Amino acid sequence: MTRRALVVVALALCAACGSTSARIPLQRAAGTLPPTTTTAPTTTTTPPPPPTTVSLPPANAVMSPRGHPLPVDGQNAQGWLVETPCGKTTTLSAGTPIATPTVVLDPGHGGGETGAIGPNHLREAVVNLAVSQVTKATLEANGVTVVMTRGDDTRVVLTTRSALVRKLHPTAMVSIHHNSTPDGPRNDPGTEIYYQARSPESKRLSGLIYEEVVRALSRYQIPWVGLVDAGAKYRLNSQGGDYYHMLRETAGTPSVIAELAYISDPPEADLLARPEVQRVEGEAVARGILRYLRTQDPGSGYVTPLPRPSSDNGGGGENCVDPPL
């Protein structure tokens, strides 16, 4: 082990024990209280200062000082009670309230939770964010307000993402992903846009985004892959509810999950690594959203899904480490 490695280990140990060592003085103090005596103490102790009271405006969600959008569950004298990117509860004493936007964009995965990884080592989380940023810029250029569930490569658990949607209650939510595990080759892009089974608005949003994304990607002449039942579709769990967390736990906001193309497939992964293709995808998603907001167009590409075995789609908080807020 090199000297540098030793230093790193020492730092890691220190970081791991930080929260424990902070509690030790409290436990020691409790265990060593002086016995009750009849004589007055010879010295007086200074009482601790009262906790600083912070006056903050009420908010449903706040942008933390380091740029993390956090759902707010309440308020106390020290600040807002927020849900962290890892899904824990903490008190935040500074930040900016987030106004309700028209659209929430949800770039899937992030940080150590990478999502699918392409044969060219492209991480789904990175492409999802790049495409979402194009969609956001395009919507904003058209006067539509947007909040993203993450603005950088931070891991954010699904419960924090869906809580943010519920707290902000936007007109629409679009979760942006890239797919893996196709059934086989197709003549056209295997784009899948999942909608909330009981929401006609969510269904129309999915059909409009499907139409725009397939039209935009079809300009590329590559051997596409996909499921045999690709399209604008729903997926149910064993209780008959929406299978995907970001559709089930956002009920009340028309929401879709957009699986734009297959990052697991070599030709598609090579396409997705190109910034101009990310731009084509992002602009197509934005056009679908704008048509949803501004027209009564019905959308297209609706399919009846085949039954699929359930799978673990991640997004939980195991081993999650919150960033500085």
Provide the binding-site residues for Zn ion, judged by CB under 5 A: 108, 115, 177
Q: Which is nearer to Zn ion, 92 or 125 (CB)?
A: 125
Rounded to whole angstroms, the Cα distance separating 54 from 143 reads 35
Query: Phi and psi for 80 in degrees, rounded to 5?
Result: -85, 140
Q: How far is the CB of 115 from Zn ion (least distance, A)?
A: 4
What residue number has its CB nearest to Zn ion?
Answer: 177
Q: Which residues, at least 6 apart from 185, have a Cβ–Cβ distance to it below 8 Å?
A: 223, 224, 225
Q: How far is the CB of 216 from Zn ion (least distance, A)?
A: 20
Q: What is the dihedral of CA 108, 239, 192, 118, to 10 degrees?
A: 50
Q: How far is the CB of 77 from Zn ion (least distance, A)?
A: 40
Q: How far is the CB of 151 from Zn ion (least distance, A)?
A: 18
Q: Which is nearer to Zn ion, 124 or 212 (CB)?
A: 124
Q: Which is nearer to Zn ion, 108 or 110 (CB)?
A: 108
**How many helices (DSSP H) and strands (DSSP E) are in the chain?**
7, 13
Q: Which is nearer to Zn ion, 62 or 192 (CB)?
A: 192
Rounded to whole angstroms, the Cα distance separating 133 from 182 reads 26
String of DSSP letters for 229-254? T-EEE--B-TTSSBSSHHHHTTTTS-
Q: Which is nearer to Zn ion, 128 or 171 (CB)?
A: 128
Please give the biggest Cα pair distance in the chain.
Answer: 92
Q: How far is the CB of 228 from Zn ion (least distance, A)?
A: 20
